[in-house]
Amino acid sequence: MSSPKSAYSIPTKKGKLDTHIFVVWVDNESGVLARVVGLFSGRGYNIESLAVAEVDATKNISRITIVTTGTPQVIDQIKLQLKKLVPVHKVADFKREDKNVIFKEMALLKIVAQKKKIEKCLKECKKFNPVILDKTNKSVVVQITALRREIDKMSKKLKPYGLTSTSRTGAIAMTRGAQTFK
């Protein structure tokens, strides 16, 4: 609520929030990430996760994947505002529930524990394509790929077994099937 004595209208009731994944193709130039992120913070939009890297070195194109929440009206605004930025080429927007899109996030988990506990951890990780990147007597670094919420769950679950450090990439997305987003 804004203060009762203000020159502006009081907020109306908020609509239901949806989670959306935006994929934004941008010119890989200095400041472009600041423009995109600044748009979000400046207009009060949410960023739950952000992943960005160059995907086409000859055309100099980077692909930014942003997970955000908002009312349908806000989601619409985000898309239209992103499209207005000069270095933005195209913008795709997917609902999290969209079955035609693959969402994946990678995490590195460091577990420091007794051998037994480590074994247990690795067992738990099994369904998330675990790759052991480093192993000592007392520790292991394992890489998993999964959905955001699966990784959330795993971090919670593995805490008691000695999970000491987690590093996550943020979600990235790709459509299923032969077609690509134009």
Partner 1 sequence: MSKLYTGAEIVFKYLEDQEVEYIFGYPGGAVLPIYDELKNHSSIKHILVRHEQGAGHAAEGYARSSGKPGVVLVTSGPGATNVVTALTDAYMDSIPLVCISGQVPTHLIGTDAFQECDTTGITRPCTKHNWLVKDIKELPKVMHEAFKVATTGRPGPVLIDIPKDIQFAKTNYTKFKKEKKLNGKIHNKFSENEINQLIDLISKAKKPVVYTGGGVINSGPQASETLKEFVRLIGFPITSTLQGLGAFPGDDNQFIGMLGMHGTYEANNAMHDCDLLINIGARFDDRITGKIDEFSPKSKKVHIDIDPSSINKIIKVDLAIVGDVNEVIKSAIKKINKKQNGLKDSNKQRISKWWEQIQKWRTKDSLGFINSDKEIKPQHAVKRLYELTKNQDTFITTEVGQHQMWAAQHYKFNKPNRWMTSGGLGTMGYGLPAAVGVQIAHPDKLVIDIAGEASVLMTIQEMSTAVQYNLPIKIFILNNQYMGMVRQWQELLHEKNYSESYSEALPDFVKLAEAYGCKGIKADNPDELDDKIKEMIDYDGPVIFDCHVDPNENCFPMIPSGKPHNQMILGPSDKEENKITGKGKSLV
Site for partner 1 in 107-166 (CB under 8 A): none
For residue 109, give the 3-state DSSP assignment. Answer: strand
* Least spacing, CB of residue 95 vs partner 1, in Å: 18
Closest CA to 64 of 97, 38, 37: 37
Site string (15-54) toward partner 1, x via CB under 8 A: ---------------xx--xx--x---x------------
| 58 near partner 1, rule: CB under 8 A | no
* Least spacing, CB of residue 178 vs partner 1, in Å: 25
| 73 near partner 1, rule: CB under 8 A | yes
Burial tier of 118 (Cβ tally within 10 Å: 0-12, 13-18, 19+): buried
| 8 near partner 1, rule: CB under 8 A | yes
Q: How far apart are CA 27 and CA 54, in angstroms?
A: 9
CB nearer partner 1, residue 42 or residue 177: 42
Q: Two tokens at 117?
A: 């506990």
Closest CA to 40 of 88, 74, 1, 91: 74
Q: Where does this chain bind partner 1 (CB under 8 A)?
A: 2-10, 12, 30-31, 34-35, 38, 42, 73, 76-77, 80-81, 83-89
